[in-house]
Amino acid sequence: MTTPTTPSTPTTPGDGDPQGPEALRPLDEDWATALAVVAHPDDMEFGAAAAVARWTGQGKQVAYVMVTSGEAGIDGMHPDEARRVREAEQVASARAVGVAEVEFLGFPDGLLEYGLPLRRAVAGAIRRHRPEVVITGNYRETFPGGMLNQADHMATGRAVVDAVRDAGNRWVFTDQLEAEGLEPWGGVRQVWVSGSPDAAHAVDVTATFDAGVASLRAHAAYLDGLGWDGFDPAEFLGGMTTATGEAFGTRHATAFEVLRMGWDD
């Protein structure tokens, strides 16, 4: 559930810091599996979907986990109906960028709290999927340019970072090992944070920009429910990717904050 305000002009990561745009470095793409864990349907599409399309096009395996189903995101639609609609839109959106597997953890939209239940659920997903890279959304207090972040995003991102370590510890959430047969997974090398004001890395999405736009357009009911007059997904995403691309030396690029989970990564 993206904050329902009229979108403003996107800002290049690092804007206002003379070292920011110039410091964008290429992401390490020497990996085979990734898991994206975000709060709501649409969270990947408002930033990182074009990058996912690039990676699935390279033959990498990417799966999505939605902590909520975004059921509180459409003011004129009852949450029970919105849940069904938004889950279907997210599945279609994921397919537009080559992602076949989408899970919904069923936490309440708009009411997420950082804590052990959320960490446990995310750790379980990491143990099931066993990714090398975990992707999540911005959990800082603001987005690039200073717009305030939303509570669900902050709770989810913080939980994801901690759950990566939880997933590798045999003595944390031991019931998952005993009752669910989930073995520990300590193979996550890095966490990549989309939409972060501290982004210092980027990836070229020029060839997959249109796929990213198509994935956002797939959230038709949600976008209609936001009531943003004249909202154009291509224009909105293009404003971000061209600004980042200019800093990165490509036509379109997506920026990420990279969190290293090991000494050598």
Q: HSE on the CB side for 37, CA within 13 Å?
A: 33
The model's pLDDT over 60-74, given as tens digits with 9 standing for 90+, comes to: 999 999 999 999 999
Residue 202: name the closest of 63, 60, 22 by CA: 22
205-219 burial code (b ≥16 CB/10 A, e <16) = beebbbbbbbbbbbb
Biggest CA–CA distance in the chain, Å, is 52
CB contact burial 69-106 (16+ within 10 A = b; e otherwise): bbbbbbeebebeebbebbbebbbbbbebbbbeebbbbe
Average pLDDT estimate for 137-156? 95
Mean per-residue pLDDT of the chain: 92
The pLDDT-based confidence of 83 (bands split at 50, 70, 90) is very high
pTM: 0.91
Are β-strands 133-137 and 190-194 bridged in parallel, bridged antiparallel, or unpaired?
parallel
